[in-house]
Amino acid sequence: MTSSTPLPQVRVLPRQTNAVPDARHFVADVLKDWGLLGVLDDAATVVTELVTNAVQHTQTLTVRVIVRRMPSDAVRVIVIDKHPDLWPALQSAGPLASGGRGLALVDAVTKSWGCTRLPWEKYVWADLEVAKDA
């Protein structure tokens, strides 16, 4: 990684169904601008799942998406909503279930992920490892 780490990029989206493709396009555009095409597909999967959860399970008016280059050669995707009491958790979905696999996908494609709760909002974040030469 070069010494000039790009600034985090932020997008605030209304909590509605088009927030999901809008978030995916936002993350893809940021990663293309940063020349990090190697994590683009996984980052698109991560933001899709995290924003979908925020849209489906919270009553917040907006969802904030942040893409940040970490000093540890990772890209962090963060989704913030104003519903700190609703905590994300891995689920075990049956083979015919239509949902419940989102965080398992996030877990499978990321280096690490988690959630930070504040009194007024929560941050669900996921780190994607970037190749050392990127």
Neighbours of 85 (CB within 10 A): 7
| Separation CA 79–CA 131 (nearest Å) | 23
For residue 99, the model assigns a pLDDT of 57
Q: What is the pLDDT of residues 69-80, one digit of tens each?
A: 998 889 999 999
CA-CA distances (angstroms) from residue 126 to 59, 94, 95, 106?
22, 24, 25, 7
Distance, C-alpha 10 to centroid of its chain: 12
More confident residue, 130 or 59: 130
C-alpha span between 114 and 29 (Å, rounded)? 24
Q: Where are the beta strands (DSSP E) in the chain?
A: 9-14, 62-70, 74-81, 112-117, 122-129
Chain segment 90-132, per-residue pLDDT in tens: 666 555 555 555 688 898 999 999 999 998 899 999 999 998 7
- The pTM for the full model equals 0.86
- 77's tokens: 């995707």
